[in-house]
């Protein structure tokens, strides 16, 4: 494929950069420094990664970064977890309508959180995942709405 | 009043008879005859244009020939369109002559006549122009047919419907029971002294009420389920059907009208089929049941009791008629208020910059006052009507108490019977009112039914033939003598002959309305040519499977249409199973990847309704990526860069260069610079191809292309000065 340099994850080795906050990447014997991973499909295909330089110049892409060697995965995830902070909602504690906005209190995999949403910023993906963007632009994900507890589902159904 | 025929006193003669009269008169067969509705002085009246072999005759209402023109003397014949009317004009020996005048109602007939004349004069008269009855519209059905067809939607749910009906009958019976129990209560228990019966009667009353509640719940539930199922079936059928119809159908019905047919018309039908039909049955049965009961109790008293019924019915009818107008007025006034809000709030910047706050305020207040006035009128009407009606009914009650009371005193009637009689009488008015309330929804449902069936009756004009083929295109395109018009008898494109070799880049230019886009719609087979044919790799496109044709032709429109969903979803629209790297590759080729990656959710970002969260240039580039992902053999770019700024245009231009490689490409362009480097440039004017050649060839030819080029060059200079 001409437009995208898609490589086998096994051919890519990533280490946390010595300068910090970036990766050193070895692809087919060539080493690149100051590399950052980026997700073109952060929600629908979260394992698809494009590696670019800090300036955004593209080096290569892998379909599933978790298939890289374990040390590389660890290094990549160290950055990804920071760059893509998308808490997953495990339980909806309260959902109220106040002054033109929904006020949520939720339990996520990153802890308890309260936030507000306004307008139609709750989006259901084709595969059923629910993406919620709050008034500040933070993104929350409900991976499998059907698996939530009953009370959470009932509250959610009112607005989805 | 002028006597020159402003009043049409003559009888309407059937067209065949008129034709016969004229044929007898001239002694020759009439090829085509058209009747106008204006005379030459501009008054309503009648004149005729008859086309016979070699001549056109103008006749007045008495079939006297008032003009005669030989076809070979006529240089041109045309229909001229004016406001509220038109004329047929001929050019003869350098002069223009009006043959006949007519109102807009007759325009089509005379357009057809002109086509016929052209056909005779230049050959190629198609017999279908003479025989086809284009004005008849067989889509509309009769009311009874509509009703029958509507009821068919209930057929799959016979059992459920029957159950609902049975419950309705039980409910009617239960409604009639309590007054009879009152009668026993009063006659046997309270005055008759049979005290032991009291608990039984009370128990029965409670049982009747309880049963009534349960049956009512069950009936309502079943009816709701039934109605949802029926409306689901109907909407499914409608949507499936309109997806199959050609674009011509979408042109004829605006999207708003289609939407409302799928949503509100079906709802109205649903309501009628389920609740309406049931309510009709219950109320009719109740009225009949109560009538029978009270007449069997005391027919004389019944006559007095029912005396107000005609007045009440007439009153309800009159109220209905009047209230519709008054309610409609209140609704209209309210929407006038809304118009101001919808204008001034989003347009606040204009209001403020022109200092028009006071003006808008006064406008708003005066309309708000109208709303108040209209609503007070509504209240007035209600107050005029309902209390009066209530009084008449109470008066009837009082009369019954008077006459019935006398009979009770005389001993010819028991007190219980009188009580039962009176409560039956009060129960009589409810169903009467419900029945009269049903008339309007019934009519509306039938109208809605007609509208829905009108669409279901439309046959898809463009369908696969049984012998349609599916093959891989090489990209050779040939138009052979293609003619086509959106309106019958008015060609939008005419005599198109054009050959495009595989891999060639062809630009199509010309003033707006010259038929450029129409050509492309024909190539995609959104319409079929009225004559001539289009070949791809030597195969008539009418013989190519539609899916095959449209898969291998990619199109990027001037106004890109995106669907709500994510960016990835929109790019992969033409290939739903596209791999993520294909989506990225397509976006990169369309110069869209960089802006997409800058969005927080990148390719997973929702685009909003119709792409509203993206800019015009961004939408355009996504549309290009969408066209690219199917890897089409033939690519059509329909003014793909005309609605964006110059920087975006440059990006899109670059994207297009990627897109064009190795494909047959047709670029429809407004800016001539876009097609300067094309292998071949086709210049269109008034539906015809007037010039073909390369940029330099065409400039040398000194024709339309050169004029367009120079005009645009001037424009660019002006723009450049403005920018500075």
Residue B209 structure tokens: 């009420």
Three-class secondary structure of residue B50 per DSSP:
strand
User: Could you tell me if residue B573 is inside a domain?
Assistant: yes
Can you tell me the distance from the alpha carbon of B38 to that of B503, in angstroms, rounded to the nearest whole number? 56
Given CB atoms, is A63 within the 8 Å cutoff of chain B? yes
Q: Kindly report the CATH number assigned to the domain that includes residue B84.
A: 2.30.29.30
Q: Do both B439 and B528 map to the same domain?
A: no
For all residues of chain B together, what is the average pLDDT?
Answer: 83
Q: Do both B537 and B590 map to the same domain?
A: yes
Question: B124 pLDDT band (50/70/90 cuts)?
Answer: low
Ranges A18-27, B488-497, B597-606, most confident: B597-606
Contacts of B565 in chain A (CB under 8 A): 126
R_g (Cα) of chain A, nearest Å: 19
User: Could you tell me if residue B405 is inside a domain?
Assistant: no
The per-residue pLDDT for B305 is 81
Q: Do both B179 and B278 map to the same domain?
A: yes
Q: Do both B76 and B27 map to the same domain?
A: yes
Can you tell me the distance from the alpha carbon of B118 to that of B124, in angstroms, rounded to the nearest whole number? 9
Looking at the predicted complex, does its ipTM rise above 0.90? Answer: no
Question: B530 pLDDT band (50/70/90 cuts)?
Answer: confident
Given CB atoms, is A145 within the 8 Å cutoff of chain B? no
CA-based nearest residue to B584, from B529, B523, B629: B629
A122, closest residue in chain B (CA to CA): B606
Work out the minimum CA distance from B263 to partner chain A, whole angstroms.
Answer: 21
Q: How many domains is chain B built from?
A: 3
Given CB atoms, is A55 within the 8 Å cutoff of chain B? no
A3, closest residue in chain B (CA to CA): B585
Q: Do both B160 and B123 map to the same domain?
A: no
Q: Which comes out higher in pLDDT, residue B377 or B389?
A: B377
Q: Do both B161 and B186 map to the same domain?
A: yes
- Cβ contact A126–B569 (<8 Å): yes
- Contact between B672 and B712 (Cβ < 8 Å): yes
Can you tell me the distance from the alpha carbon of A48 to that of B377, in angstroms, rounded to the nearest whole number? 67
* Rounded (10°) CA dihedral A154, A156, A157, A160: 180
Reported for B212-219, long-range contacts at CB under 8 A and 24+ positions apart, including other chains, are: B212/B171, B212/B174, B212/B175, B215/B167, B215/B170, B215/B171, B215/B174, B216/B171, B218/B167, B219/B164, B219/B167, B219/B168, B219/B171, B219/B278
Work out the minimum CA distance from A4 to partner chain B, whole angstroms.
Answer: 6
pTM summary value: 0.68
Q: Which comes out higher in pLDDT, residue B562 or B131?
A: B562
- The strand order across the sheet containing B477-484 reads B493-500, B477-484, B531-536, B539-540
Can you tell me the distance from the alpha carbon of B219 to that of A144, in angstroms, rounded to the nearest whole number? 37
User: Could you tell me if residue B307 is inside a domain?
Assistant: no
Give A34-93 pLDDT, tens digit per residue.
Answer: 899 999 998 888 899 999 988 888 899 999 999 999 988 988 988 888 888 889 999 999
Q: Which helix (H) or strand (E) holds B277?
A: helix B277-297
Where a domain ends, among B81, B111, B131? B131
Instruction: Identify the burial level of B227 via C-beta atoms within 10 angstroms of its C-beta, where 0-12 means exposed, 13-18 middle and 19 or more buried.
Output: buried
Give B447-484 pLDDT, tens digit per residue.
Answer: 888 888 888 888 877 777 888 888 888 888 999 988 88
Can you tell me the distance from the alpha carbon of A33 to that of B377, in angstroms, rounded to the nearest whole number? 80
Q: Do both B45 and B185 map to the same domain?
A: no
Can you tell me the distance from the alpha carbon of B703 to that of B280, in angstroms, rounded to the nearest whole number? 74
Residues in CB range of B33: below 8 A, 6 or more apart: B15, B18, B19, B22, B48, B49, B50, B51
Picking from B568, B601, B603, B625 by the largest number of A CB atoms within 10 A of its own CB, the best residue to mutate is B601
Can you tell me the distance from the alpha carbon of B432 to that of B450, in angstroms, rounded to the nearest whole number? 28
- Cβ contact A4–B588 (<8 Å): yes
Residues in CB range of B691: below 8 A, 6 or more apart: B681, B682, B683, B698, B701, B703, B704, B705
- Contact between B87 and B98 (Cβ < 8 Å): yes
Q: Do both B59 and B158 map to the same domain?
A: no
When pLDDT is averaged across residues B270-285 and rounded to a whole number, the result is: 84
- Contact between A121 and A132 (Cβ < 8 Å): yes
| Distance from chain centroid for Cα B253 | 4
Where a domain ends, among B76, B108, B131? B131
Give the CA angle between residues B364, B369, B370 to the nearest 5°.
Answer: 100
A 10 A CB-CB count for B205 gives: 15
Question: B132 pLDDT band (50/70/90 cuts)?
Answer: very low
- What number of residues does chain B have? 724
Residue B451 structure tokens: 């509208």
B567, closest residue in chain A (CA to CA): A41
Per residue, the 3-state secondary structure of B319-371, as one string, reads HHHHHHHHHHHHHHHHHHHHHHHHHHCCCHHHHHHCCCHHHHHHHHHHHHHHH
**Which DSSP symbol is given to B96?**
E
- Cβ contact A43–B601 (<8 Å): yes
Question: Domain coordinates of chain A in residue numbers?
Answer: 9-83, 89-157
Predicted confidence (pLDDT) at residue B253 exceeds the cutoff of 60: yes
- Residue B635 forms beta bridges with which residues? B554, B665
User: Could you tell me if residue B588 is inside a domain?
Assistant: yes
Q: Do both B29 and B104 map to the same domain?
A: yes
For all residues of chain A together, what is the average pLDDT?
Answer: 86
φ/ψ region of B485 (left if φ > 0, alpha if ψ in -120 to 50, else beta) reads beta
- Residue B140 forms beta bridges with which residues? none
Three-class secondary structure of residue B631 per DSSP:
coil
- Contact between A60 and A68 (Cβ < 8 Å): no
Nearest to A6 among B581, B588, B603 (CB): B581
User: Could you tell me if residue B670 is inside a domain?
Assistant: yes
Given CB atoms, is A7 within the 8 Å cutoff of chain B? no
Query: Could you give the C-alpha distances from B722 to B645, B646, B718, B719, in angstroms and in order?
Result: 15, 14, 6, 5
User: How large a percentage of chain B has pLDDT more than 70?
Assistant: 91
Burial code of A14-51, b = ≥16 C-beta within 10 A, e = fewer?
A: bbbbeeeebbbbbbeeeebeebbbbbbbbbbbbebbbb
When pLDDT is averaged across residues A113-128 and rounded to a whole number, the result is: 82
Query: Could you give the C-alpha distances from B659 to B473, B555, B635, in angstroms and in order?
Result: 17, 11, 8
Q: Do both B114 and B64 map to the same domain?
A: yes
Can you tell me the distance from the alpha carbon of B456 to that of B536, in angstroms, rounded to the nearest whole number? 33
HSE at residue B298, side-chain half, CA atoms within 13 A, is 23
Given CB atoms, is A123 within the 8 Å cutoff of chain B? yes
Work out the minimum CA distance from B234 to partner chain A, whole angstroms.
Answer: 26
Residue B370 structure tokens: 């109208």
HSE at residue B233, side-chain half, CA atoms within 13 A, is 15
CA-based nearest residue to B441, from B226, B312, B265: B265
The per-residue pLDDT for B134 is 37
The per-residue pLDDT for A40 is 92
- Cβ contact A42–B604 (<8 Å): yes
Predicted confidence (pLDDT) at residue B7 exceeds the cutoff of 80: no
Predicted confidence (pLDDT) at residue B135 exceeds the cutoff of 50: no
User: Could you tell me if residue B165 is inside a domain?
Assistant: yes
Q: Do both B247 and B284 map to the same domain?
A: yes
Picking from B577, B585, B589, B603 by the largest number of A CB atoms within 10 A of its own CB, the best residue to mutate is B603
Give B617-656 pLDDT, tens digit per residue.
Answer: 888 888 888 888 888 888 888 876 665 667 777 777 777 7
The per-residue pLDDT for B442 is 82
Q: Kindly report the CATH number assigned to the domain that includes residue B517.
A: 3.40.50.300
Q: Which helix (H) or strand (E) holds A139?
A: strand A139-142
User: Could you tell me if residue B632 is inside a domain?
Assistant: yes
When pLDDT is averaged across residues B387-409 and rounded to a whole number, the result is: 86
Contacts of B582 in chain A (CB under 8 A): 1
Give B204-233 pLDDT, tens digit per residue.
Answer: 989 999 999 999 899 989 988 988 898 899
B565, closest residue in chain A (CA to CA): A125
Can you tell me the distance from the alpha carbon of B479 to that of B498, in angstroms, rounded to the nearest whole number? 5
- Residue B34 forms beta bridges with which residues? B49
To the nearest 10 degrees (0 to 180), the angle between helices B299-306 and B357-410 is 160
Question: B139 pLDDT band (50/70/90 cuts)?
Answer: very low
A48, closest residue in chain B (CA to CA): B580
Q: Which helix (H) or strand (E) holds A23?
A: strand A23-27
A 10 A CB-CB count for B207 gives: 12
Work out the minimum CA distance from B566 to partner chain A, whole angstroms.
Answer: 8
Residues of B with CB under 8 A from a CB of A: 565-566, 568-569, 580-582, 584-586, 588-589, 594, 596-597, 600-604, 606
When pLDDT is averaged across residues B369-376 and rounded to a whole number, the result is: 92
HSE at residue B627, side-chain half, CA atoms within 13 A, is 27
Domain with B600 in it: 477-723
- Cβ contact A125–B604 (<8 Å): yes
When pLDDT is averaged across residues A132-150 and rounded to a whole number, the result is: 88
Nearest to A39 among B566, B602, B606 (CB): B602
- Contact between B477 and B500 (Cβ < 8 Å): yes
Per residue, the 3-state secondary structure of B666-698, as one string, reads EEECCCHHHHCCCCEEEEEECCEEEEEECHHHH
Picking from A2, A4, A7 by the largest number of B CB atoms within 10 A of its own CB, the best residue to mutate is A4
The per-residue pLDDT for B372 is 94
Q: Do both B677 and B714 map to the same domain?
A: yes
- Residue B67 forms beta bridges with which residues? B58
User: Could you tell me if residue B119 is inside a domain?
Assistant: yes
Say how many CB pairs under 8 Å bridge A and B: 57
Would the CA dihedral through A133, A134, A140, A142 be positive or negative?
negative
Work out the minimum CA distance from A20 to partner chain B, whole angstroms.
Answer: 23
User: How large a percentage of chain B has pLDDT more than 90?
Assistant: 10
- Contact between B556 and B592 (Cβ < 8 Å): no
CA-based nearest residue to B272, from B226, B317, B241, B214: B226
């Amino acid at each position: 494929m001409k437009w995208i340099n898609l490589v086998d994850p096994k051919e890519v080795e990533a280490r946390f950069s010595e300068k910090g906050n970036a990766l050193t990447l070895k692809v087919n014997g060539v080493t690149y420094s100051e590399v950052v991973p980026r997700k073109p499909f952060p929600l629908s295909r979260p394992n698809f990664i494009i590696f670019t330089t800090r300036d955004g110049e593209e080096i290569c892409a892998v379909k599933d970064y978790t298939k890289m060697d374990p040390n590389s995965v660890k290094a990549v995830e160290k950055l990804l977890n920071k760059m893509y902070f998308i808490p997953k909602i495990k339980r909806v504690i309260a959902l109220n309508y106040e002054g033109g906005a929904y006020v949520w209190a939720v339990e996520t995999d990153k802890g308890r959180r309260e936030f507000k949403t306004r307008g139609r910023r709750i989006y259901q993906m084709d595969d059923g995942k629910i993406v919620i963007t709050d008034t500040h632009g933070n993104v929350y994900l409900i991976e499998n709405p059907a698996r939530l507890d009953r009370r959470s589902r009932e509250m959610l159904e009112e607005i989805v | 009043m002028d006597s020159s025929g402003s009043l049409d006193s003559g009888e309407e003669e059937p067209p065949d008879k008129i034709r016969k009269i004229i044929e007898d008169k001239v002694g020759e067969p009439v090829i085509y005859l058209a009747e106008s509705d204006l005379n030459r002085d501009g008054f309503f009246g009648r004149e005729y244009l008859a086309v016979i072999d070699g001549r056109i005759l103008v006749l007045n209402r008495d079939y006297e020939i008032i003009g005669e023109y030989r076809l070979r003397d006529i240089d041109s014949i045309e229909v001229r369109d004016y406001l509220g009317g038109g004329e047929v004009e001929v050019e003869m020996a350098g002069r223009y002559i009006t043959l006949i005048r007519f109102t807009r109602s007759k325009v089509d007939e005379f357009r057809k006549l002109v086509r016929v004349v052209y056909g005779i004069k230049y050959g190629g008269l198609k017999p279908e122009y003479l025989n086809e009855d284009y004005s008849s519209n067989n889509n509309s059905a009769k009311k009874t047919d509509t009703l029958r067809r509507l009821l068919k939607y209930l057929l799959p749910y016979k059992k459920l419907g029957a159950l609902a009906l049975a419950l309705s009958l039980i409910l009617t019976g239960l409604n009639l029971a309590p007054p009879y129990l009152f009668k026993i209560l009063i006659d046997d228990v309270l005055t008759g002294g049979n005290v032991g019966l009291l608990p039984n009667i009370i128990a029965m009353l409670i049982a009747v009420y309880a049963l009534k509640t349960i049956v009512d719940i069950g009936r309502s539930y079943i009816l709701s389920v039934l109605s949802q199922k029926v409306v689901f079936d109907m909407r499914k059928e409608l949507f499936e059907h309109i997806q199959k119809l050609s674009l011509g159908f979408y042109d004829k019905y605006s999207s708003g009208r289609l939407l409302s047919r799928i949503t509100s018309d079906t709802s109205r039908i649903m309501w009628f089929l389920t609740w309406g039909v049931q309510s009709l049955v219950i109320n009719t049965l109740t009225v009949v049941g109560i009538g029978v009961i009270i007449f069997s109790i005391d027919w004389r008293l019944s006559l007095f009791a029912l005396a107000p019924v005609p007045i009440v019915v007439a009153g309800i009818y009159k109220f209905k008629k009047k209230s519709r107008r008054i309610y409609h007025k209140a609704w209209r006034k309210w929407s006038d208020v809304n118009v101001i809000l919808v204008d001034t709030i989003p347009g606040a910047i204009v209001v403020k910059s022109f200092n028009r706050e006071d003006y808008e305020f006064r406008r708003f207040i005066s309309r708000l006052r109208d709303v108040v006035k209209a609503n007070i009128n509504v209240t007035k009407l209600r107050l005029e009507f309902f209390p009066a009606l209530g009084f008449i009914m109470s008066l009837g009650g009082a009369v019954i108490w008077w006459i019935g009371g006398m009979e009770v005193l005389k001993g010819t009637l028991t007190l219980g019977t009188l009580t039962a009689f009176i409560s039956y009488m009060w129960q009589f008015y409810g169903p009467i009112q419900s029945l009269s309330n049903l008339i309007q929804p019934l009519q509306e449902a039938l109208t809605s039914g007609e509208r829905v069936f009108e669409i279901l009756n439309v046959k898809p004009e463009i369908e696969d033939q049984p012998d349609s083929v599916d093959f891989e295109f090489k990209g050779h395109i040939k138009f052979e003598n293609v003619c086509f018009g959106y309106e019958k008898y008015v060609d939008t494109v005419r005599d198109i002959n054009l050959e495009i070799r595989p891999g060639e880049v062809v630009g199509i230019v010309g003033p707006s309305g010259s038929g450029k886009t129409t050509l492309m719609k024909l190539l995609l087979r959104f319409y079929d040519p009225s004559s001539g044919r289009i070949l791809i790799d030597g195969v008539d496109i009418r013989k190519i499977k539609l899916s095959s044709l449209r898969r291998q032709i990619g199109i990027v429109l001037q106004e890109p249409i995106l669907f709500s969903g994510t960016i990835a979803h929109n790019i992969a629209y033409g290939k739903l199973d596209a791999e993520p790297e294909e989506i990225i590759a397509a976006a990169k080729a369309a110069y869209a990847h960089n802006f997409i990656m800058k969005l927080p959710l990148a390719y997973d970002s929702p685009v909003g309704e119709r792409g509203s969260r993206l800019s015009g240039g961004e939408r355009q580039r996504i549309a290009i990526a969408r066209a690219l992902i199917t890897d089409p053999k033939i690519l059509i770019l329909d003014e793909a860069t005309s609605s964006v700024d110059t920087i975006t245009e440059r990006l899109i231009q670059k994207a297009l260069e990627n897109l064009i490689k190795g494909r047959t490409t047709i670029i429809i362009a407004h800016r001539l610079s876009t097609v300067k480097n094309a292998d071949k440039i086709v210049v269109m004017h008034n539906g015809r191809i007037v010039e073909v050649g390369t940029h330099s060839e065409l400039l040398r030819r000194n024709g339309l292309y050169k004029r367009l080029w120079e005009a645009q060059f001037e424009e660019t200079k002006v723009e450049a000065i403005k920018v500075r």
